[in-house]
């Protein structure tokens, strides 16, 4: 294997340690800690497990955390009122509404009601605009792209002047990471191309990439011959390709996950590569914690 593995599991630990010590320092100097509320509607098992992990991580780094679970049939007006309650709660710095929401609720309306200064997911149009403007305007980059950029920087990969090719143009990964990498500033200053299903000669674009970020949701989409030797390959894709018995309990089946890149072949060509699982995945919740800490620091005027 020639590529250096960029492990999200290790970078997560580093960042969570940094957050924990900063929270302790702020507590000592200002007498407050960041507060995060997660709002869950209904009992979707996947949503429950995401929210549980977010709350557990918030607890670990010393935040005040609230899990607010609402019934699946909560009227939209009541959910809007609940968000307004947390918008006006001084002890809460971050509000997170776990998606998806049930069909009778307008997801956009809900997300747009969150105070942009507490929108630690970074999905509010005000924060999308701030991200586009760049520089000091940026408050809360969306968590997955924020994690991707942090991994690239912490791995020591040069971004200035680098050719970055992003596969995928979703609002949660492709578009924001492309925007972040082209900004003027540290960890950016790249020349960026976005490719998608209507792109001609996708392979040719990918071959040019010094940094290839793949977020398509198609297992093994990127072939080894599409990778420039020595490139940094960030595989965001998480695809369930089957099931296998759990290592802890062989009677329980767990998902077999694959990324969007043919990892085994790509690692012989790339200079850096993220594994799936254990690559980008652990970074998303980590950056949610960092955004929540930042929300408190903005409020205290120390950011």
Annotated catalytic, 27? no
Token pair of 245, please? 């018995």
Counting residues that bind ligand NAP (by CB under 6 A) gives 25
CA distance 119 to 93: 9
Contacts 24+ apart (CB under 8 A), 154-159: 154/6, 154/11, 154/14, 155/4, 155/6, 155/232, 155/272, 157/211, 157/232, 157/272, 158/210, 159/187, 159/188, 159/189, 159/190, 159/211
Site string for ligand NAP, 125-164 (x = CB under 6 A): -------------------x--------------------
Least Cβ distance, residue 143 to ligand NAP (angstroms): 8
Residue in 119, 121, 210, 235 annotated catalytic = 121
Name the packing angle between helices 8-30 and 45-60 (round to 10°).
Answer: 50
Q: Before 100, cis peptide (omega within 30)?
A: yes
Token pair of 173, please? 């990964």
- Which one of 31-39, 42-50, 65-73, 232-240 is the stretch in contact with ligand NAP (CB under 6 A)? 232-240
Annotated catalytic, 121? yes
Q: Is 216 in the site for ligand NAP (CB under 6 A)?
A: yes
Q: Is 174 in the site for ligand NAP (CB under 6 A)?
A: yes
Site string for ligand NAP, 233-252 (x = CB under 6 A): ---xxxx-------------
Least Cβ distance, residue 21 to ligand NAP (angstroms): 25
Options 130, 281, 288, 289; binder of ligand NAP; rule CB under 6 A = 281
Annotated catalytic, 70? no
3-class SS of residue 261: strand
Query: Mind telling me the catalytic residues?
Result: 54, 98, 121
């Amino acid at each position: 294997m020639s590529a250096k593995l960029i492990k999200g599991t290790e970078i997560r630990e580093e960042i969570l340690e940094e957050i924990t010590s900063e929270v302790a320092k702020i507590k000592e100097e200002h007498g407050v800690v960041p507060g995060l509320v997660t709002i869950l509607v209904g009992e979707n098992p996947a949503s429950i497990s995401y929210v549980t992990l977010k709350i557990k991580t918030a607890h670990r780094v010393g935040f005040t955390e609230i899990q607010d679970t609402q019934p699946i049939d909560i009227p939209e007006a009541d959910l809007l009122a609940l968000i307004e309650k947390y918008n006006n709660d001084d002890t809460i710095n971050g509000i997170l509404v776990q998606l998806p929401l049930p069909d009778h609720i307008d997801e956009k309306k809900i997300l747009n009601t969150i105070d942009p200064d507490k929108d630690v997911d970074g999905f509010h149009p005000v924060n999308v605009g701030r991200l586009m403007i760049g520089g000091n305007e940026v408050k809360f980059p969306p968590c997955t792209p924020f994690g991707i950029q942090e991994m690239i920087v912490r791995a020591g990969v040069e971004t200035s002047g680098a050719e970055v090719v992003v596969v995928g143009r979703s609002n949660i990964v492709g578009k924001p990471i492309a925007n972040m990498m082209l900004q003027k500033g540290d960890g950016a200053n790249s020349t960026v191309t976005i490719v998608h299903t209507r792109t001609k000669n996708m392979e040719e674009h990918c071959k040019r990439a010094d940094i290839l970020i793949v977020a398509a949701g198609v297992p093994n989409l990127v072939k080894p011959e599409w990778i420039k030797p020595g490139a940094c390959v960030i595989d965001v894709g998480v695809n369930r390709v089957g099931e296998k018995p759990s290592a802890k309990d062989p009677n329980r089946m767990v998902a077999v996950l694959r990324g969007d890149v043919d990892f085994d072949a790509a690692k012989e060509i790339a200079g850096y590569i993220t594994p799936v699982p254990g690559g980008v995945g652990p970074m998303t919740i980590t950056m949610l914690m960092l955004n929540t800490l930042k929300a408190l620091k903005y409020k205290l005027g120390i950011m």
